[in-house]
Amino acid sequence: FCSLDQQRFGAMAMWLLVLFMAGAMADLEELPEDCAAEALELRQLRGERRQVKEDAETCGDWLDRDECDEDSEVAADESIECADECSHDVCCKTKAACNFFTAKGGCAGLTLPANVTGKVWAQKTQDPDEFFSDMFCASTEQSVESCGEACCEMKPCQKCSGQTYTEGCKAGFTGTCAACPKAASCAAGQMQSCGDGILSACKPCSNAPAHAHYTGTAMDSECPWVCNDEYLLHEGKCVPSICGTWNGTCDAATTIPRAAKIPCKGFCTSETCCAPKATCGSYLGASTSSDVPSAQCAAVKDATSDGKVWAPLEASAGTTLYCKGTESDDSSCQKACCSEQSCKTCSGKFYTDKCQAGTIGTCAACPTSTSCSAGEYQTCGDGALSKCLKCSNAPENSAYSEGSLSSECPWKCNEGYMKSGTTCVATCALYSCDAASSIPLKASTLCNGTTCSSESCCTPKATCGSYIGASSDAPSAKCAAVKDAASDGKVWAPMEASAGTTLYCKGTE
């Protein structure tokens, strides 16, 4: 810097120097005085030697005969002694350059008059015809007093139009035109406007109704808002969010509307305004099928039609049965979950088992044996297992031996009778022959019909008369033929029957 001409410092060169020397701004204020000697040497090398007034003792003497450049220099104190070396370089001091003052933001240090608005102190506009000429402060000092009004002037802020605004207009700078922002930089509930050079400050929004709060900002007066908790938007207003103001409907099959005054604590929904009905599953428990006994349905006191019982209703696949209300009690669920139903219908070799209050029963396979007593029977099939009935197929003189699954109950003939086809015929076992005069036939011998007699069941013994012939006092060849030895004084001879009696042989011969 010291090697540059101090009197005519080109504007372009100065700006280049500003860019390279920005970091050394604080040290530039003293440069003109410190570099005076070097500046003189430079002019001498150029052949621009200034005449030294050898007969001048002080700068005052020199200034009486010469002068400084009033645009870029100030005269030194006249009392400065030059010792015959007084010259322009000694007695003229270079003024401080405006470029350095304004580059450091010096114009910002000036104060606007109280009656001036819409303007700021900024770098003075240079005459286009002197674009490459420097502007100088009033003295060598880089100060507001020296450079302020010499380097700065009051200028209006940058004029902008359309969707732009003046940005950065402040002391020392007239600002620039910036595009209006798409979104406000305010806090929620505040808004800005922008255009024709002005970006307004943040202002409170006022478009939200009572019981609402803002959720964001806006570049116009319509800031976004929502209703507070427990309030609902209705015709542009925030009204209490209760089930009474809810526009939805409850599913009548599965829910019951809650009271209108119930608060929703936010948006009302079917979950908040519709109470779920109790299910038949929760009421009946495990007895959700009509063929499973249900104590709840069995407790229904209403009379039923013949062949019907109160039993659980059965839901189709994938569906649920509901009570009338929200409670799982008889008043809410009994008539909704139980109905009067016919007993289970069965066919073939099956019968309806255990159809009773609380269940329609199940189809059970017909039994292979009866539970009836002897002489009783029951039938089974096409849904029915009959009660035990009296058998009637056994003939006279017989007894039933066991029960049956048909009307043909098993039987057997009574003792003394023998089965003959479908009847029981008497046998000689029922008749007792006269042991003295006859011999009984086999017990299995059938009697003549149903009446037994000696003729049908007994064989008459032979008589001694037919065997011996003559009486006992006549010689008997039969008795004489007995070979057994007789006791002394005794003989074998015919026996004599008492009067009116007959003696019989042992057998029939």
Concatenated DSSP letters of 253-297:
TTEEEPPTT-B-SSS--HHHHEEEPPBHHHHHTT--STTS--HHH
With the C-alpha atoms ordered 111, 115, 121, 127, is the resulting torsion angle positive or negative?
negative
Say which DSSP state 397 is in.
T
Residue 169 in tokens: 């207009």
In this prediction, residue 376 carries a pLDDT of: 96
In this prediction, residue 55 carries a pLDDT of: 73
In this prediction, residue 15 carries a pLDDT of: 42
Long-range contacts of 287-290 (CB under 8 A, 24+ apart): 287/312, 287/358, 287/359, 288/312, 288/314, 288/315, 289/314, 290/314, 290/341, 290/359, 290/360
In this prediction, residue 54 carries a pLDDT of: 62
Long-range contacts of 190-193 (CB under 8 A, 24+ apart): 190/217, 190/223, 191/217, 191/218, 191/219, 191/220, 191/221, 191/223, 192/217, 192/218, 192/219, 193/219, 193/220
Residue 180 in tokens: 């209006």
Classified as helix, coil or strand, 427 is strand
Instruction: Single out the residue of 428, 397, 427 nearest to residue 413, CA to CA.
Output: 397
Helices (H), 285-342: 295-298, 330-337
Encode the chain (509 residues) as per-residue pLDDT tens digits. Answer: 343 443 344 444 444 444 444 443 334 344 444 444 444 444 444 444 445 656 778 888 888 888 898 888 998 888 888 877 888 888 899 988 888 888 888 888 888 888 888 889 888 888 776 655 678 998 888 898 989 888 898 989 889 999 999 988 888 888 899 999 999 999 999 999 999 989 999 999 999 999 999 999 999 999 999 988 888 788 899 888 889 888 899 999 999 999 999 988 777 899 999 999 999 999 998 888 888 889 999 999 999 888 899 999 988 888 999 999 999 999 999 999 999 999 999 999 999 999 999 999 999 999 999 999 999 999 999 999 999 999 999 999 999 999 999 999 999 999 989 998 899 999 998 889 988 889 998 988 888 767 888 888 999 988 888 888 765 567 788 888 888 888 888 988 888 888 888 888 988 88
In this prediction, residue 132 carries a pLDDT of: 55
- How far CA 338 is from CA of 289, 297, 323, 324, in Å, comes to 10, 6, 10, 12
In this prediction, residue 1 carries a pLDDT of: 39
* pTM (two decimals): 0.43
Residue 137 in tokens: 């402060």
In this prediction, residue 37 carries a pLDDT of: 45
With the C-alpha atoms ordered 24, 25, 29, 33, is the resulting torsion angle positive or negative?
positive
In this prediction, residue 52 carries a pLDDT of: 61
Q: Is 136 buried (19+), middle (13-18) or exposed (0-12) by CB count in 10 A?
A: buried
In this prediction, residue 133 carries a pLDDT of: 67
Distance CA 350, CA 354 (A): 13
